[in-house]
Each structure stands twice: as structure tokens, then as C-alpha cells.
Structure 1
Amino acid sequence: MSGHTAGRAISQRLADLALAVVVGALAVVAAAQDKDTTALDHGLLVVGAAALAFHRALPLLVLAVATASGAAYVLHAHPGPLGALTVFAAVHLASQLGHRGRAAGASGIFLAAYAATGPTVPAAIERTGLLAGWFVCAVVTGLAGRNWQAYLRQTEQRALEAERTREEAALRRAGEERLRIARELHDSLTHSISIVKLQAGVAVHLARKRGEEVPPALLAIQEAGGEAMRELRATLEVLRTDEPTGTPALLVERARAAGLAVELSVTGEERALPAPLDRAAYRIVQESLTNAARHAGPAKVRVELAYGTDVLAVRVDDDGAARPERPPQPGHGLTGMRERVTALGGTLRTGPREEGGFSVRAELPLG
């Protein structure tokens, strides 16, 4: 887990704990205003409030505990509307996490228990009607909060996508410029250096053929011409090569810095790979992380590199929004990935996972 992700998780836990403490304190203080409140009543309120600290991990269980303890409290103590505070908070949080129907059902159960404490039917209807409005607001505000968070996530993803598009465009322009420079160097310098080298060689050959001593300057020109040609060819090779600018580990770090929850696992004896194989592994991880950032939503991603004796296995899984019943349409990224793997004699399997999310598995022969 990266420092950014760990810090965010700690902040969420502290916020959840603070919420439970504040709600519990308010509920207990309100209950203390009634001199007939017993230790059992305080215990029920504390249990309901403490459960709120775990609402992210166990939202439905927290909703059930808060509703049961709240209903038991009102049936035993017959409190005022503030006795619903812990249940109100649990309903709001469950609705915000997407459990709208369960939240409404819990509200109905608690309101039924609350109505049963009314001294008369008209009084029960009056006090329960006011409280029902509160619970409707809890469900609605929970849904509004969920929609707002979804909007923020989409905005962040669009910003990341725009940044990635700008980076890709810059890299593409840089590659085109490299190729243009390589062509210019090849068309101009290669021809001129070749002519100089050729003429120097002819002059040396004729001098030796006539039995004359070859001038040292002529030999130096011939040697310098050959060296210049070798260096120029090496430079052109660098300009024309589209090598990856990093490693899969660096890609994972960049994705974490951008907010994607990514884990990297490397098994086997990690070693240097041939350039085509190294480039293919890099591009597979790069494209998979890009697709996860674009389509998986707030998902966790696991990248696995397994160095075998004869095969390098690359696997990238996420637990995002993809489902077997609605597989995504393959785009240019997956097509290019498959072409790379096929060109190296490997195999590639992509598609939704049974448990949800998307999986990319490639096996690249090391031979």
C-alpha cells in the first residue's frame, strides 16, 4: 500500500471513529435528561453508536445493530425524538453506501417500534409522522451524498484521462520528431560521410598501388570517416527505437500516485529480458493500468509478474465494474496488446472475472 493510500485509509478510520463518538455522546447526553433512563438504556445507545465506526466495512450489519439497539431502547425507555439519533445516522450512512432499500426498511422497523410507545393512537401518529420525515431526509441526503461522490470520482477520472491523453500526445510528437531528425541525418550526413570515406579509401589504395608512402593525414581521414559512420548509425538506431521509458514497477508507482490502489507481486528469479520481451511486458502492464483507471471505477488492482524457467507470466486483475454478463467491447489498446503478444509467440487472455472486475493474463516465452 502506498503512503498516499495508507494515509487516506487512516483518515477515513479516524473520521468514522469521530462520527461514532460524537453521535454516541449526543445520544447519551439527550438520554441523561430523562431521570428514568437506566444503565441498560445507556448501554443500548452506546452499542448502536459504536457500530457506526464500522459502517464502511459492514454497512448492513451496522444498520441491523443500530436499528435493533435503537428499537429496544425506545421500547424500554419511551424517549423523545432524539432517541432515534443513532438509527438516523445508520440509515443515512447505509443509503450513502448504496443500500437505499435496506435503509428504508430499517427506518420502517424503528418507526413501528417508536409508534408502539405512544400513549394513544393520535399521539403515536403525530410523533411518528414527524420522525418519519427525518428518516426520509436521511435516506434522501444519503443518496445525494452518494451521487456527489460519484460525480467527484468521474471528474477526477476525466482529469486523469485528459492528463494521460496530453502525455500520450507529447510522446507521439516527440517520437515523430525523432524520426524526422533521423531521416534528415540519414539523408544528409550519411551520404556526405560515405563520399569522404570512399574517396579517402581510393586515395590510399592508389598510393599503395604506386608504391608511394600514404600520407598520415589521408589515413586519419579514412579512419575518422569510418568512426563517424559507426557513431552516426548508432545515433540513428537510438532515435528510431521506441523503448519503454521505465519498468512495470515504475508504472505501478505512477498509478498509485494518481490515486489508483495497485499492488505489485513479483515471483521467481527476476532478471534482465530481451528488449522485445521487456517492451511487451511493460506495454501490457501500462495498458492494463490505463484501462483500470478509465473503466474499473474505485477498484483495487493487482499486478503479478512471474518469472518462470521458460515463460514470463504477466497478470493484471481488478475488482472493478466489469461483469461476465456485460463484457466490455475490446478497443485499440487490447488489440495492440494481443498483437504484441502474438508476435512473440505468446498467449493472451482478457475478459471479465466471475467474481467481478477485469483480468488480463499474458504468457510470453523466454526463448
Structure 2
Amino acid sequence: MRREWIKDLGLTLVVLLAQSGPFLFAQRIDPEPWTFLDYLPVLWACMPVFFRRYQPALCVFISALGVGAYGVISHGPAQPIWYGALVCMYTVAYQSPRIQRLATLAITGLGMLIVIGSINTAIRELATWSAAYALGTLGRTRKEAAITAQAQATQLATERERTRIARDLHDILGHAFSLMVVQAESGAAIARQDPARAEKTFDAISAAGREAMTQLRETVGTLRETPSLSNIDSLVLKLKHAGLVANLVVRGEPRQLPDEVQLAAYRVVQEALTNVVKHARAKKVEVIMDWRPESLEMSIVDDGVGNTESEGGHGLLGIRERVAAVGGRVDVGPCASGAGFKVKTVFA
């Protein structure tokens, strides 16, 4: 607020100085000096600039009255341009409501045609004031466009954030619950045959639930600490606890990737392994991280019956969206041998 006050004061002084120019450089025909009465309409026409933000239309009319008074009570030098009135007219076009803008424009134009005796002078003044109004309209249009663009950007960012959180919730809970269901279903049968092994199975169920709760808290807390490629081995280890033969194969020399790429790669592996547990009825799964000179190729391969999830399901759809969001490529489908299913992603 204070900064705006200083700006308004500075602009008012600049306008007043420019309007006072003819008094400083012009000379009267008679030897008498300019009087305060000659200068009073100039102050009258310039002072509304300071208050124009609050009542722009009223300031235009007050300034216009000062312009008219200059021709009636003053014997001052000719004023080619009335800067204060033009600044107020600009402000009307820039910030006033539509009805006020139109009313001000109509009353000002009509007043000029009535008061100004010379038609040429009236046309010149109308053109000058219309130019100020046009500049104000241009500024208002740009401001409105910027506000609209900012609102759209905010809405898009909000939608992306909602989608991201929805994916994370799906990946975290879907993976954990799938493992828990599989282990719980096999736990009862194992308990009758091998109580010691059954205890490990139920410990794995408990661990999966606790980890799901931990990751869920991180997600609700805006995911300040996100998983990375270094956490993929823990996903593979969970499948081993679930009774599958699961292996992690790393080829090439690992290197640092952007956080968003590491998170996307982790979620892809998590979702692919979840699909293996839920759909594939596989006995073996292999996660391959192939570090190339300019890319990272990741493959999740199982020996099951294939993924029966539809292409439009949340799992595969989420994988495609995550990979595309970081500029990667994804290919899903049956293995070349005809047995099993493969999810392959490439991150540049």
C-alpha cells in the first residue's frame, strides 16, 4: 500500500511538472507575470491523478472541469496536452467496471462536442483522449489474460498433483494389499503343514502392512521423501517372502538420474510386480536394470500366464502415464517365447 502511494505521488508530480512547462518557457505578451489564478486550473486538473485508483471516473470529470476552468478564468499560456485528464482516462479504461467505462467515454465525448467551440479542436481532443482510453483497454486486456493464464496453470498443476497422488496411492496400497492377500491365502494351508514357515508368512504380512502405512503417510505428507532406484531391491525381496522366485539383475554402470525419473522407475517396477502377484500366477519373476550409455532400460519379466488386466486398467494405464510424464517409453505384452509377460521401459 505504501509503495502504491509513493508511485501515485511521483506520477502526480511528473504530470504537474509537464503541465507547468508552458508557464516556465512561454512569455506573456504584456509584461505582467503569471498569477496564481492563472495557474490554479493546472493544479485542479493535475491533482486528481493522485486519487485516480480509488475513483477513476470521478477523477476524470474533476480533471476535465479543471481543463474547462483554464479556458474561462485563466490567462495562462496555451496547453497542447492535458496530461492529468489523460492519465485518469487511462485508469478508467484499465480498472473501472464496464458500465462506468462506457458512461465515462460517452459523457466525455459529448461534453467535448458541446463545450469546445472549434470542431477541429474537438476532434483532436477526442482522438487524444480515445488513445488514452485505448491504451488503458490494452493494459486491462493483458492483465485479464495473465490472470486467466495463471488460473489455468494453477488448475492444471492441481489436477496433475491429484493424478500423481492417486497413482501413488494405487501403487502403494495395491502392491501391499496384493502381497498381503496372497500370503494370507497361503498362510492357512502352510500353518497345517509347517507351523514355523507359517509364522514367517504372517510376519511378512505384518511387515507389508506396516510398510504400506509408512508410504501412505509419506504420500499424504506430499511425498517429501520419495522412493528411488536404490529401493527396488526391497520390492524384489518382498516377492521372495511371498513365495515367488524373484531376482534383480543389474547390468552396466549405474549413474545418478533426476528424482522424478527415479520415482517413476520405482513405481513402474512396483506396479508391474503387483500385476504379477494379482494376475500372472507366475512362479518366477525377474527385474532387469540395464544401464546403457544414454539410457536406462528396465524390464520386468515373469513366467506366468500373462497379464489379464485390460489396457485401460489403472495399473497399466498408470505405468504408461508415469513413463510418458518423464519422457520415457514403455512396451508391454507377452514374452517373445509365448510364455509369460514382459513390461519394458526406457528412460533417457
Q: TM-score, normalised by structure 1?
A: 0.48
Larger gyration radius, structure 1 or structure 2 = 2
